[in-house]
Structure formats: C-alpha cells, structure tokens
Structure 1
Amino acid sequence: MALQIVLLIAGLALLIAGAEWLVGGASSLARKFRISDLTIGLTVVAFGTSAPELVVNLFASATDHQDIFFGNILGSNNFNLFIILGIAGVLLPLKVQASTVYKEIPMSLAALVVFYLMVHISSPKGEMMLGRIDGIILLGLFVLFQFYIYRQIKDYTPEETIQKPSGPLFKMIVLIILGLAGLIIGGRLVLDNAVIIAKAMGVSEKVIGLTIIAAGTSLPELATSVVAAFRKNADIAVGNIVGSNLFNLLLIGGTVSLVSPVKYSPIFDIDFYILAAGTVVLFINLTAWRKHRLDRWEAAVLLTSYIGYTIYLISRQG
C-alpha cells in the first residue's frame, strides 16, 4: 500500500501543477488576444483552482465511483469552510465586506439547498440522483453567478490597461498542453490509488472522498486563503472560500451530471446538514451586531468542529 500512497501524493501534486500550468498558459494566450485581466480572472483562473475537483469527479462518475463524486464535492466544501477559513481566521481576524456577508454567503447557502433538493427528487425510475436536466440547471445558475461577479467587479474596478504577454506563442501552447496532461494523469492517479487504499484499509469510498481526496483537491484554495491572510487581505481569504464552494456545487456538480448522471446515497445527508449548519452559523456570526468579523477564537472553533466531524466520519464507516 506504500506505493499507492506515494502515487496518490504524486497525483495530487500533478493536479495542482497541472492547474498552475493551464492557468499560466491560458492567461498569457488570452492576453495575447487582448482579453482583459478581469475576464481572465473570472474564467481561466477561477476554472484553474476548480480543475482538480472537476477532473477527479469526472473520472469518478465515468468509472462508477459515485460516492467519491458526492464525497469530494461535500468534503471539499466542508474542508473549505471549517479548515481553510479556520486557519485563515486564526492567522488573521477576518473583517469581511458587507456584500460578501449579505450576498455571496446567502448565495452559497441557496446553491446548497438547490443541490440538496435536486438529489432528493427521485428520477422516473425512483432513484435519487443528479441527472442531466439538473446539470443544465446548475450550469445555468453558475452562468448567472459569473455574470453577478462580473458586474460586481466592473462596478468597482477602473478601466484597465491590457498588458502584452511575455514569451512566444509556442511556450503558451506547451504550458496549456502540459497543464491538461497533468490534470488528466493526476486525476487518474488520485482516483485509482484512493480506491485501492480505501479497500486495503477497509475504509469506504465515501470517507476517502470526504477526507483525503477532498483535502487534496482543496490545496489550491488553502494556499490562496493562507497567503491572503498573511497579506492581511481578508476579502480574498473569505471570498475565495465562498466562491470555491459555489463553483463546486454549480460548475462541477453541473458539468459532471450533464456528462454522466450520478446516483445519490442518503448516507451523505448528514454531510449536507453539517455544511448548511456551518454556513448558517458563519452568516449569523458575521451579521451579529453588524460586526462583519470572524475573530481568532471563532476560527479556532471551526477547526475544532472539523476534527470532531472527521472522527465521526471514520467511526461511521458507511
């Protein structure tokens, strides 16, 4: 099993490196065609940070490891909320913009409710699943969210000067190809070896998806929020987490279910409830006395809660 652990770590490293290469190459290529940084940020970079989850979940759905798909989405969102926000908040008390508190966080909760209702509405065959129509709806909501973000940024961003990229076109194309290859190979390594490790340890695919794979594919978000906290940029630290959770539910959930409908197991209901409760508590905490602030002790509570949640997952084993 030691070899599988090494290959799993290598796969996660390839996923992250592949996303970096893809973003770098695609961003330079976009600038070459005079596409603005604003548009690049909303499309290429945003996709890049979500690419590891997307690739792993496409493989999981295509190879009938559907518990890993739901485990990864819900596990990543819980990891983002409790661990990443917790670490960022311990490093820096987070003062958050009102628009994030009153708009983006409720949007994240609304997306979760929509996703939950979709998987609990039975298909004509009587199965709980995320089907192609659900995928179209989720992707439609994702487009609306992107339009909202575009308007928000455009309203507060001065007209920018588009910088010419440095380097030849060939280098940009090579980066894009390397990025795609890294994502594909890394995604396959992560999925295959996670399944082998789960079977060897007697751990269910649900638990592997909710913990190891979820944490591994959330590393780009962890790095972004920790760096933002060190730089005392609370808005990026929190916005990255809220945005990532919306991307996971709408873009990844929509894309995967559109490509291949995914059966849902009610065993994940508790993970939905924990994510919803955490989001609601975060919203109430940030709006109480209109403080719009997450203090260090509150962030520590988030971290402690996740430890308890992980212990529960391992003991649940079902």
Structure 2
Amino acid sequence: MFHVFCAAMGGFSDNIWLNVFFVLAGVVLVLWGADRLTEGAVSLAERMKVSQMVIGLTIVAMGTSMPEFCVSLVSALKGTPDLAVGNVVGSNIFNTLLIVGVAALVLPITILKTTVRKDIPFAVLASAALFLLCLDGNISRVDAGFLLILFFFFMGYTLFTAKSGDVPAAEEKKPMKPLVAAMWLLVGLLCLVFGSNLFVDGATTVAKTMGVSDAIIGLTIVAGGTSLPELATSVVAARKGNSGIAIGNVLGSNVFNILFILGVTGVISPMNIQGIGTVDLTVLFGSMVLMWLLSFTKYTISRIEGTLMASCYMAYMTYLIIQVMK
C-alpha cells in the first residue's frame, strides 16, 4: 500500500511551467508545515517532560525523513539504486553542511554536552558504516540488516536515556493541549511530505529533460528537495530559539536516512551502486566530522562556523556541476 501511494505521487506532466508551479507550491507547503510542526513538537516535549533534543532525534527526524524514505524505496524497487543511495548521501550532506550552516546564520546553535558526547558520534559512526559498506559497490541484504540493527540500537538507547534534565525552562505562554499539539505535528508532517514531493517531481522532470544522470539528480535535486522539510524545520526552530529541535532534527534525520532507509531498502532490494563515488562518500563522512569538531567550540555553532559549513556545501555543489559539464 505504501509503495502504491509513493508511486502515485510521481508522474507529473512534462510541461515546464506546470512543473515550476509544482516547485513553488511545494516550497510554500513545506515552509508552512515546518512552522506547524515546530510548534507541535516543542509543546509535546514540554508536556512529556523530555528534552527538545529527544523529540528532534525521534518524532521530528523520522517525520521529516519520510520524503527520503519514499523516494529511496520506490527508486530501489524500480531498479534505480543510484537514485536511492544518491538521495540519502546527498540529503545527509545537505543536512549537515547547508541546514546546520543556514540555521547557525539565523541564530547561533547551542549544543548540549550530551549531544556532543553521544548523538553526534553515533551519526559519525553511521556515516562511517555507509562509507565502508559502499566500498565494494554493493549494499547486500546482510549489509542492510546490519544497518537496521544499528538503527534499532540507536533508537532504543535514545529513548532509554531520555530524561527531563535537559528540558528548558518553561515559557510564560501555556503549552498547547496534547491533542492540539499532536494535530499540528501531524498536519505539519503531511504538508512537509506532500510539499517536498511536489518540489522533487517538478525539479526532477526538468533535470531529466536536460539529460542529467540518476546519480547526479539523486545527489542534488532529489536530495535537496527531500531535505526541504529538515531545512525548513531546523531554520524555523533556530529562529524561535529551539536549538534542540534544530540540531536534533538534523542528527536524527541523518541516522534515520542511513540506517533505516537504506536498511529497509536494501533488505527489500539489494543495491548495486555505480554512480556514487569515493568523493561523495568522503564528503558525507567529512561533513559529520567537521560538525563534530565545530561543536566543541564553546558547545555552540557560531555564525562564522555556519558560514564555513555552508561554503563547504557550495564547494561540493560546484564540484558536482563541473562533473556534469565534463
């Protein structure tokens, strides 16, 4: 049923202007949905007496990663594994360098010590695992099963260690009622998923007419489009001073993308990877290491550091464009 639903989201007209409309409509939906999602998530965190980081790592991260899951699963089932893996690799690079960079430019991001000691290292580990598993050009069912085991370990540990000690002081305004907060969370997630699908379908159709390969489309347009929920959610959260949601969303999405999405996709359909090179995987791993190192500077990612991260992403995009033009 989920496969049918995902497939139904594709197949838009080849009309360029109609696809431009889809792109714009998708962006509007994503931005509005991110605002609703953030409000609902913060209120739930306060009601449940857990930190915003835990909510960001779990509910928000999995919700905003639904577009990646949808695209990667359908791509693997259709026999285009380069698009599936390229989507995850590109999305994680986008998440780490551009989303964290832009969010830090909006407002410097404060990172908890527990995040630096536990959550970021696990995201680095997930990136390293993908790097090593892709060296032979294949993700087998055994490889995928290993990724899923790591995912369930991460989720179990995160929920087991969740505590109220990191919860920020309550604001003067009264939190939403649980039912209202859950409703806005769901509405926000739906807008993020449908909006990003509109964006991806429109942009991908245009790219395919230009003869761009599946791997490059996965690393750039699809990765950026499916990461719109993370970008919008993290920037909105940072603007509202909810840095726990902002950084937790990115870290949780990165772990979810690699361990769960590629794990499930690989178990269903083993993947032979051809278009994703060592450079792409090195940038993926290096971006997480860079974020980890920068987080040690007063446990804050400043605007200058955010600029550095965003600049690294633009440099990587420039490299990809040069490769396409060769």
Q: Matched residue pairs, number? A: 291
SS at match of 1:301: helix
* SS class of match (1:143): helix
Verify: 1:79 aligned to 2:100, yes or no: no
Give 1:12 shift: 7.4
State the distance in 2 between where 1:105 and 1:256 align. 24
| 1:281 partner amino acid | L
Partner Cα distance (2:193, 2:295) in 1:
36
After TM superposition, give the deviation of residue 85 of structure 1 in Å: 0.5
Contact 1:71/1:210 (<8 A) preserved = yes
Q: For 1:287, what is the secondary structure of its paired residue?
A: coil
1:287 CA drift (Å): 2.3
Q: Following superposition of structure 1 onto structure 2, how do residues 149-188 of structure 1 map, counting pairs within 5 Å?
A: 149-154=158-163, 156=165, 165=179, 187=197
- What residue is the counterpart of 1:61 in the other structure? 76
Partner of residue 246, structure 2: 237
1:286 Cα deviation after fit:
2.4
Pairing 1:135–2:144 present: yes
Structure 2 residue identity aligned to 1:92:
L
Question: In 2, distance between residues paired with 1:312 and 1:227?
Answer: 29
- 1:203 paired with 2:203, answer no
**Contact 2:64 / 2:230 at 8 angstroms: preserved in 1?**
yes
Deviations 1:177-226 (A, max 9, x none): x959x969975x77766554333213222221111111111111112211
Q: Say if 2:290 is the partner of 1:281.
A: yes
Instruction: Tell me the equivalent position of 1:228.
Output: 237
- Paired with 1:237 and 1:207, the residues of 2 have a C-alpha distance of 27
Matched, 1:310 2:324: no
Stretches of structure 2 that go unaligned for 5 or more consecutive residues are: 1-15, 38-47, 168-176
Q: Structure 1 residues 258 and 19, CA, compared in 2 at 3 Å: closer, same or farther?
A: farther
Q: Which whole-Å deviations, capped at 9, do the CAs of 1:227-261 have from their partners, x for residues lacking one? A: 22112232322222111111111111111111111
SS of equivalent to 1:203: coil
User: Given that residues 26 and 195 in structure 2 are in contact (C-alpha distance below 8 angstroms), is that contact kept between their aligned partners in structure 1?
Assistant: yes
Task: State the Cα distance separating 1:293 from its structure 2 match.
Answer: 1.8
Are residues 1:247 and 2:256 paired? Answer: yes
Give runs of aligned pairs for residues 105-120 of structure 1, distance below 5 A.
105-120=120-135
- Match for 2:289: what amino acid? V
Q: Structure 1 CA distance, aligned partners of 2:307 and 2:195? A: 36
Deviation per CA, 1:91-137: give whole Å up to 9, x if none.
Answer: 1122211111121111111111111222224xxxxxx2112222222
- Give 1:268 shift: 2.6
C-alpha distance in structure 2 between counterparts of 1:136 and 1:278, whole Å: 25
Change (3 A) 1:6 1:71: farther
1:112–1:249 CA contact under 8 A, matched in 2: yes
What is the aligned-residue identity percentage?
38
Q: What secondary structure sits across from 1:202 in the alignment?
A: coil
Q: CA RMSD in A?
A: 3.8
In structure 1, the partner of 2:271 is 262
Cα pair 1:19 1:51 within 8 Å, conserved: no
Please say if residues 195 and 205 of structure 1, whose CA atoms lie closer than 8 Å, have aligned partners that are also in contact: no
The one-letter amino acid of 1:303's match is A
Query: Higher Cα Rg: structure 1 or 2?
Result: 1
Gaps of 5+ in 1: 23-35, 122-127, 167-171
Q: Distance in 1 between matches of 2:77 and 2:203?
A: 16
Deviation per CA, 1:12-60, whole angstroms, max 9, x where unpaired? 77899999999xxxxxxxxxxxxx797x957654432111110011111
TM-score (norm 2): 0.74
TM-score, length basis structure 1:
0.76
1:283 and 1:199 map into 2 onto residues whose CA distance is 36
Q: Provide the rounded CA distance (Å) in 2 between the counterparts of 1:293 and 1:185.
A: 31
Which residue is 2:107 aligned to?
Answer: 92
- Superposed displacement of residue 10, structure 1: 5.7
After superposition, what is the alpha-carbon deviation per residue over 1:255-310, rounded to whole angstroms, capped at 9, x for unaligned? 1111111111264321111121122222222225xx21211111111111211111
| SS of residue matched to 1:265 | coil
